[in-house]
Amino acid sequence: MKKNKLKNIAGLTLIEMLIGVVISSIMMAAIYTTYTVVNNSYGQVTERAKISRSGRDIIEMMMRDIRMAGFKYILGTNTLGFPNRSYLEFVGGESSIIESHDPIIIEKGENALGSLGGTYTRINEENHPDQGSKCCDRIHIVYDDFNQNDTTQPYKRYKITYYAAPITDSAGSRYAAYRSVRSWIQPLGTDVGTWVDDCPECYIGQKIRDHIVDMEFVPLDAEGRRISPLPSPGSDITARDNLYKIRAIDLRITFRSKGNFYRFKASEDKPRFVKGLGDRGHNFNDQKLRDSVVVTIHTRNIGSGI
């Protein structure tokens, strides 16, 4: 009886156990691989979404200011005792870019100033091969406003400047986009004024976005053609005349991811290329993701003269 009972006892042999371990290992490896792929895909989608969100925010801010460029407030006949239109001095012509009141002035990347002056070349951002190229155009936008509660100076004038400047800290070297706001101070009854940056609504060098790769502004005329020479105050009469031919601005901003996006670096002979407007572009061989936002912004208040 005992022998028969022992014969009926079921169990697993060593071979069967080894087969079970192998199958379980294969299943675990497949699950881990699937998780890794899904997690990487989620991270990439999230990183792209962050760049897209950053692009939308700064683009909306620039669009609002560029559309205001050249705006003149006309009060008309009133009982407030104010002039019916702006009395503010207009400074243009051969004045400097910093002092000019012209609606839109663009400084190209090869000539653009830093935050308070001085040119700079592209910094060594994560060891890419085009360290000698320039980064980021600079744009100045001027428009008027009105405040009936300010009896000292009811008519206002502001100069908005967008630019990029290099940053180097514990997180590495990169660029950030900045915005500055200055105000023209000229009380009623005076003939001249001056730009200041200490008014309540003014500020200099406020960082608005980090991890900027490039900013590019291209002025277009009424036919949608690039304006050349570049509109600018100064001794060049044609460049001065072009200031009031601007009807739209092509704007490109390129951002990069904060952390690594690609699994591997690009090779030196086949770097990742970021295309600009026209022939402008940059090569990179690191693992960062770079994405560009390109829009055309129509100006509304720039005519043939003042």
Domain locations along the chain = 27-298
Residue 30 phi/psi, 5-degree rounding, is -65, -40
H/E run at residue 62: helix 14-68
Give the Cα separation of 160 and 204 in Å (integer). Answer: 10
What mean pLDDT, rounded, does the chain reach? 82
Sign of the dihedral defined by the CA atoms of residues 86, 88, 89, 95, in that order: negative
**pLDDT the model gives residue 114:** 39
By percentage, how much of the chain surpasses pLDDT 90? 38
The per-residue pLDDT for 50 is 66
Task: Tell me the pTM.
Answer: 0.79
Alpha-carbon span 216 to 107, nearest angstrom: 10
| Full DSSP string of 5-61 | HHHT-----HHHHHHHHHHHHHHHHHHHHHHHHHHHHHHHHHHHHHHHHHHHHHHHH
pLDDT in tens, 47-83: 666 666 767 888 899 999 999 999 999 988 888 889 9
* Contact partners, residue 185, CB within 8 Å, separation at least 6: 153, 193, 194, 195, 196, 199
